[in-house]
Structure 1
Amino acid sequence: MTKVRQDAWSHEDDVLLADTVIHHIKNGSTQLKAFEEVGDQLNRTAAACGFRWNAVVRDRYETKISEAKRERKAFQRNDAAQAVQKTFGVKHPQRSIEKPVHTDDLNMERVVQFLSHYVHQETIDADTKTNVEQVQLENEQLKSQLEKLEKEHESLLTIINRARNMMFVDETMSDSFMSSSFRMDENGNLQHVSKAD
């Protein structure tokens, strides 16, 4: 469908444009997607919608845009907290979505509530950091234990291979091998001890 140039914007067109852009801001989408959506509804190009938004409409909706951005950040913080909880198993009370604060609504109780929430969040962040540090320390300890066990394993395999090699000495010596005695030197090697020694 070819879009036809239209010069006049009605009040309803401006309201539709503003509502759509604000909705996209709240949900973390881009303004460009909002312009494309409005352009499809009004048979205008996304560029025309973007120009109208920047030149005329945006200034009228600064307060609503700021509120939409605050709501988007609150949603993102909530999503991040849930992701941390899923990943690290950190338990904390479910945070409610923060409402935008208007200066008319400010009172001492809301300030105290905000500060206590902030301190609680700092405690949760510190606990998470401590948990991560503990896991990293455990990981380092387990790595060193694994290296030690691998070295012991190699030593045991070396001794077993030496003993196996001693057992399969030339078949001509098998009778004398069985009747002979052996001793181990300081390096862990078995040495045949002749009866003359």
Structure 2
Amino acid sequence: MTKVRQDAWSSKEDEVLAQVVLKHIREGSTQLRAFEEVGSIYSRSAAACGFRWNSFVRKQYKKEIEQAKKQRKKKHQDLYQTRHSIETPEFSFEEIINYLNKLYNEHIDLQNKYESLYASYLKQQEKYKKINREYEEILTFLEKASKIHN
């Protein structure tokens, strides 16, 4: 009788491994990332997933792998064409100056808010230090009183 290993791969795990790897291929990601993803799902190492993929599962998905690579290539080409076919809008010099002035004013407002909050923080820090010193004094007083009483 053949003993089944406790860590043997099920057909469902093989299917998930294949689907995740194919997804990563289509998206232009690495197989290592796919192995890490599957490993986290099934509490297996990325190396174990990679070994299973390369030694057994990959051979069963040759057509799907080629199709995923073609989809990745087409997606990449479409993205490239989209990026390079977008016309850049033209702005007048006055519009650019107005926009930059708006950004500068927002920057000044944020800087003023930061300075105000920082000043408030420093005040609170001083209050904390004062309260902490008073607390330490009370503890010292209580220790002395305890020693006198005992």
Class of the TM-score when normalised by the shorter of the 2 chains: 0.5 to 0.7
Counterpart of 1:82, as a letter, is T
Matched, 1:81 2:69: no
Cα distance, 1:86 vs. partner?
A: 2.3
Q: Which runs of 5+ in 2 are unaligned?
A: 90-150
Indicate the residue corresponding to 1:13 in structure 2: 13
Pairs within 5 Å for 1:123-138: none
The two structures, once aligned, show a CA RMSD in angstroms of 1.9
1:19-34, aligned counterparts within 5 Å? 19-34=19-34
CA contact (8 A) 1:6 1:44 kept: no
Q: Return the offset for 1:84.
A: 1.1
Residue 83 and residue 56 in structure 1: after superposition, are their counterparts in 2 closer, same or farther (change >3 A)? same
After the TM superposition, which segments of 4 or more aligned residues of structure 1 sit over 3 Å from their partners? none
The residue aligned with 2:48 is: 48
Residues 83 and 6 of structure 1: CA distance in aligned 2, closer, same or farther (over 3 Å): farther
- Code of the residue aligned with 1:37 in structure 2: it is E
Higher helix proportion (structure 1 or 2): 2
Equivalent position SS for 2:86: helix
Larger radius of gyration: 1
Deviation at 1:83, TM superposition (A): 1.2
Cα deviations by residue, 1:126-165 (Å, 9 ceiling, x for unpaired)? xxxxxxxxxxxxxxxxxxxxxxxxxxxxxxxxxxxxxxxx
Partner SS, residue 7 of structure 1: coil
The correspondence of residues 1-197 of structure 1 with structure 2, limited to 5 A, is: 7-86=7-86
Q: CA deviation at 1:42?
A: 0.4
Counterparts of 2:74 and 2:88, CA distance in 1: 21
In structure 1, list runs of 5 or more residues that go unmatched.
90-197
- Matched to 1:86, the amino acid is I
For the structure 1 residues 32 and 83, does the alpha-carbon distance in structure 2 shift closer, same or farther, using more than 3 Å as the test?
same
User: % of aligned pairs identical?
Assistant: 48
Letter in structure 1 aligned against 2:62? E
Q: CA deviation at 1:7?
A: 2.9
Alpha-carbon distance in 2 for matches of 1:34, 1:88: 37
Instruction: For residue 33 of structure 1, report the CA deviation from its aligned partner.
Output: 0.4
Larger strand proportion of the pair? 1
Whole-angstrom distance in 1 between the partners of 2:12 and 2:37: 15
